[in-house]
Amino acid sequence: MGAQIAGYLADLGFEVDMFDLPGVARRSWEQMVKQGWCTLTGRFRITPRATGEDDEVLSSASLIVEAVFEDAKVKREVCDRIERHASATCLIATNTSGISIDEMARGRAPEFRRRFFGLHFFNPLKHLAFAELTPGRDTDPDLITAFAEFAEKTLGKGVVIARDTPNFIGNRIGGWALFAPFRFAPPELNAVDIDQTFKAVWGWEPLKTWDIVGLLLAKPVAANVYDRAVDDPEREVFSPEVPSIETLVARGLTGRGSKKKSGFFGLGDRRQKLMFDFSTGEYVPATGHDLPSLKAAARAKFPENLRILLEGEDGAARFARHCFFGLVAYSASLVGKICDEITDVDKAMRWGFNWPRGPFEVAQAYGLDKVLQGIEASGYGKLVPPWLAELATRSEGQLYSKDGSSFHSRKSSRLEPVPLVDGGIYPDRLLNEAGKTLFKNDDAAVVDISTAGAPVCLVVFTSRGNSAGPGTIVALHKAMDWAEGQQGAVVIGNTGRAFCAGANLHWLLEMSESGRADALEQIVKDGQEVTQRLTYCDAVTIAAPHGYTLGGGSEIALGAKVRVVNATVTWGQPEINPGVIPAWGGCMRLLRRALKGHLTYYHWGEFWTREVAGDCIDPVWRLIAWAEMSRDAYDAREMGFLDPEDVIVPAQGLGQPFVLARARQLAAAMVVGGWRRPSPFLFNLPGKALLCRFQAICDQGALGGLFPQHNARIATASANVLCGGDTRLGEPVTESKLLELEREGFMQLVMTKETQAAIRRVLKM
């Protein structure tokens, strides 16, 4: 975990010293990019250090995070070393999933204890938002408040303050969920049945999670509660003795990170998913049983699927009742002991375990009365705390308001507002405010988010999946018309899983199959026109991409003058999957980014040969032809999607409203402070002299069976654009010429039967 923390901080721009045993830190450092812990740029901000040899370096640190494995004795020894060398102003944190903070601070100097706290990041750190902040008895409260703000706004994490109790919040509630299969699952359920049942209840799979985190963690995680929380009524759930885990560990099957890369599940030939059969001791195909309640629940939507499952009579239903009613009751019994409010538990499970909803959010959706009845019927009535029993007696008793904007506070015993991001922009709320909407159609809306002295509007995509269609283009033009008239700015951004996952493929397929080549060519022209206008119009244009930013969504973001990007973005041009090429300027703009770093005299001088140009074009072509997608925004920057002046905002906890606020802030500053319109780029490209190289790669791959012949045709079409078509070195190629080549390549592909079949595959039709 220490290497992940180092990589995460390095990608944020911090200089990091990474300590481990002599030689180990260097080996971890060498693997960081391959493991996805940081980018190549980030790795160069990390210096591997040897514990015991480089300890004097600790004296210059502002923050030291101890992150050795979960062993209290070893952690205390490391803290001894830190205490000897750390400066008097250095903050000292321990990354522990449940070991007592006070126990590790015991016997240390008062000044050390004042600056010492728990900082628990969840694994994998880059993808899980949760940072569990746990002060000790002597930790300075002001320090915790300041660090919580730093962790939210600079580190981008979702922060919850936990109390110093066994396993804190996440691993106390999540630990119950992780060990529940071994205590409550009927013997007739196999590993697939267990995970599918839990997924139907909580949207999460416990056995799959064990394989990810590693089965060697089971004993220490369980023992933290079993040995220290002796009065916990659910203590036996955390018994460290788990025969199924012991069987797997004895065979070296400790999860995906083990040498055998297997645990409860494994992979067979041709990546067939397997599960461990404890009756035979062998891996068998991962197939669940025919369970009526589970099948019926799978056909329904939340929360109806939950009702169907909980009211069933088979083994999955009996197990589901334990999973649901037991966990809700246990969570309620701990509010006020491990944390202050129900929102702390819900955030911990959403951010730390990637649940779509927290326990109390699901309980509210199911119905508080039915939840309490189920808790009693399932034998968990003794866990119901007084505050929950009292709430159930009220005629309007609820854990959350219907719109989710308020929650029941245990402290005040009434509904309190769910805290919003300070200054955050919430598009859904703006769309419902009178006088805010400037324009609206089925695909998008334009709303006024002006600040004092700076007119700014926000373009919000509202179509299914935030896909881009004709209405999106109209809305973008309307926004730019307004901004040019106001001498203001346009911000393009929204919320949801995707900024924009690409063009509306349903519409694309309909036009293709009905022979509407004219309509398809027109929308390509319109898309190119609007992305060019985003670049060259007389207004500031800022894209604020997040989530999936793919295909046409990527091209819209690339067209804006500046980008303010959520750090968790997944960015790519995967048009080859639905059988086309980027045609709203994606090929041209990615190539422009690859080339504009060169000095003009180099780009047009005698050193600019076909081979040199090919070396610059090749990575852009592979990005498109291989449908490469970024792991995050830092990766996207190295892939060429971002300019150096673009802003990356870590916002896993505060979310997209915080990113949109930063985008508006930058837009207003540019409006007030002035900005310069970019100049069109002239390309010097080799044309057919280089295209033959890419065509040979495609033909050989298709002949060798590496990919279908149609994919070779698509990749060749994108290469033709990047090489400049019928040109040669020394002849200027304009942006308009490359856009024309994009359009021609797209139209040659989109009407074919092969592309229609590819679109159907993507849509799973």
552-559 helix and 586-595 helix, angle to the nearest 10 degrees: 50
pLDDT at 231 over 70: yes
Q: What is the pLDDT of residue 395?
A: 76
In a shared domain, residues 254 and 149? no
Q: Which residues pair with 437 in a beta bridge?
A: 447
**Phi, psi (degrees; rounded to nearest 5) at 94:** -115, 130
pLDDT at 764: 87
Exposure of 594 in the CB half-sphere (CA atoms within 13 A): 23
> Is 449 in the same domain as 524?
yes
The residue out of 414, 430, 448 marking a domain boundary is 414
Mean pLDDT on 414-436: 92
On whether the CB atoms of residues 351 and 358 are closer than 8 A, the answer is no
Distances, alpha carbon 23 to alpha carbons 28, 31, 354, 472, in Å: 9, 13, 34, 54
Query: How many CA atoms lie less than 13 Å away from 55 in the CB half-sphere?
Result: 13
Give me the pLDDT at residue 606, please: 86
Q: Are 710 and 698 in contact (CB under 8 A)?
A: no
Domain end: 351, 380, 414, which one? 414
Q: Are residues 470 and 382 in the same domain?
A: no
**Quick one: 147 and 157 in the same domain?**
yes
Q: Does pTM surpass 0.85? A: yes
Judge whether residue 595 has pLDDT over 70: yes
Residues 597 and 518 in one domain: no
Q: Is 80 exceeded by the pLDDT of residue 597?
A: no
pLDDT at residue number 765: 66
- Residues 508 and 105: their CA atoms lie apart, in Å, by 63
Domain end point (choices 143, 161, 179): 161
CATH of the domain at 320: 1.10.1040.50
| Domain span including residue 698 | 575-628+679-765
Do 684 and 639 sit in the same domain of this protein?
no
The total of structural domains in the chain comes to: 4
* Shared domain check, 279 and 390: yes
Q: What is the pLDDT of residue 604?
A: 87
- 557, 490: one domain: yes
Mean pLDDT of 538-542: 98
Residues 623 and 652 in one domain: no
Residues in the chain: 765
Q: Is the pLDDT of residue 601 over 80?
A: no
548 close to 570: Cβ distance less than 8 angstroms = yes
Mean pLDDT of the region 495-502: 93
Using one digit for the tens of pLDDT, what is the confidence trace for 385-394? 999 999 998 8
Report the percentage of the chain scoring pLDDT > 90: 90
Question: What percent of the chain shows pLDDT beyond 70?
Answer: 100
Q: What average pLDDT does range 429-440 have in this prediction?
A: 93
**Reported confidence tier of residue 191, pLDDT bands at 50, 70, 90:** very high
In a shared domain, residues 533 and 616? no
Quick one: 241 and 389 in the same domain?
yes
Mean pLDDT score of the chain, rounded to an integer?
Answer: 95
| pLDDT of res. 133 | 98
Please tell me whether residues 209 and 131 are part of one structural domain.
no
Report the pLDDT averaged over residues 144-169. 96
Strands 437-440 and 456-461, how do they pair? Answer: unpaired
Lowest mean pLDDT among 175-184, 449-458, 697-706: 697-706
Nearest to 213 by CA among 399, 69, 329: 69
| Average pLDDT rounded to a whole number, residues 734-749 | 98
Q: How confident is the model at residue 270 (pLDDT cuts 50, 70, 90)?
A: confident
Which CATH number characterizes residue 554's domain? 3.90.226.10
